[in-house]
Structure 1
């Protein structure tokens, strides 16, 4: 597991994952990160992210808007200084997904996009996701993670099940048919 996990402040996180490397998480900086994000979200492998046709300017506009909200946040995840994933968190009651299920106090929504691999490594996604879950649940007020991946995205559906998420109902959102998944804090922190 981890030899060191720290939360420098509300928005920065560092965790040394034994045998994997140092995972750091920081807020997306739209002006600085737009080229990286645009490259990631427009790849075929990111088709379920829903931004394949987005221009660079549109990607910047979306992440600048997210940066302006108090209820939604975007983070860039690095492994040993190399960008590895994009994570977005949100308050479900301030998002359309909150109209699709009974939101509980302590729920936090999460979206995850793993960046293109530098090399294919067995266990990479699991190790990275473990650090991300620790980051999201570092706030003790967060009691349950809610995710709503596209119902056709078999890779993430399988990954969430293997991570311990419990499947919920299918829901219809404006941009997709999704499957709700829930992960209680107790399942991660034991």
Structure 2
């Protein structure tokens, strides 16, 4: 699925050294990486086989679903304590709250099908959106797309983007390291991906995509202290989306052949946040 203005394995498993040694591959020093704690440890950048990534992903998800809440939800900047329920893989996204932007307060609000289906379906039927998301139709495809996330293990959360009190965009925040995209780039633990689209035609072409994408990337880094990279995968044909990622401080790191699209792999690094 693609970004519509627009829509990424934790490598643990060597049970010989506690949390610091709990890795399937050896950790190596990265001179360009920002210092990280044991809980947010990085691993060597390797391209693994599909079978090994599936095994690592399953083990990592099971570990995060069962580890104590006090460990899983250590407070990050602006947070006062644990947030979200058991099995929360995105650090209580529903409780992240609003952030200020030049266009007004902005907040990610998790989708509720009974409340939001009509609006999201309307956006998905816009020709400029359906060309990349491929969810046009009476709503069944959109329902299936939303339910696959809402009924899952929490690795992807579909949200409305609410700007100054008005729902005006659709977002998916997801664990890139637990997603198939991890097979196409050197994924690191807790990499967090973003898919998005701007709903109204009148809101496009005004720089809002860049503004809000930067705000959401900042929000991810603020609320997910173990995440050092935010990832995007816009369709290379989707020039406005690619430009929005670049304008929001992401760097183009390569390309990937994904189902239905050739994607530009975009990464925004925590270590470079102050200069981008």
TM-score, normalising length from structure 1?
0.85
More strand by proportion, 1 or 2?
Answer: 1
Q: Deviations 1:85-139 (Å, cap 9, x if unpaired)?
A: 1111222233221111111123111111112145568443333223222222221
Larger Rg: 2
1:126–1:151 distance in 2 versus 1, CA, 3 Å: closer
Whole-angstrom CA distance in 2 between matches of 1:35 and 1:7: 33
Q: How does 1:26-37 map to 2 (within 5 A)?
A: 26-37=109-120
> Is the 8 Å Cα contact of residues 48 and 153 (structure 1) preserved in structure 2?
no
Higher mean C-alpha displacement, 7-16 vs 43-52: 7-16
- 1:116 corresponds to: 200
SS in 2 for 1:21: coil
1:175–1:81 distance in 2 versus 1, CA, 3 Å: same
- 2:250 corresponds to: 165
- 1:105 corresponds to: 189
TM-score, normalising length from structure 2?
0.61
Structure 1 position 48, deviation (Å)? 4.5
Count of matched residue pairs:
185
- 1:83 corresponds to: 167
> Is the 8 Å Cα contact of residues 252 and 267 (structure 2) preserved in structure 1?
yes
Q: Deviations 1:11-60 (Å, cap 9, x if unpaired)?
A: 1321233x421112111112211111001112112135322434312211
> Is the 8 Å Cα contact of residues 48 and 150 (structure 1) preserved in structure 2?
no
CA RMSD of aligned residues (A): 2.3
Choose from 177, 188, 212 the match for 1:93: 177
Which structure ranks higher in relative contact order (CA pairs < 8 Å, sequence separation ≥ 6)? 2
Structure 2 residues not aligned, in runs of 5+: 1-76, 84-91
Structure 1 residues not aligned, in runs of 5+: none
1:28–1:189 distance in 2 versus 1, CA, 3 Å: farther
